[in-house]
Amino acid sequence: MAQWSDIEAKVGQQRSLEERLRDHPELRARVESLLVVVENAAGDVEKAAEAERRVTEELRQMGQEALQAWARRQAERKEQDVVRQPGVQRKEKKASIGRRGMEPLK
Length of the chain: 106
pLDDT tens digit string along 44-98?
Answer: 878 888 888 989 999 999 999 999 989 999 999 999 888 888 876 666 666 666 6
pTM score > 0.75 for this model?
no
**Neighbour-count burial of 30, counting CB atoms closer than 10 A to its CB (0-12 exposed, 13-18 middle, 19+ buried):** buried
CA pair distance 89, 34, nearest whole angstrom: 45
pLDDT level of residue 2 (50, 70, 90 thresholds): low
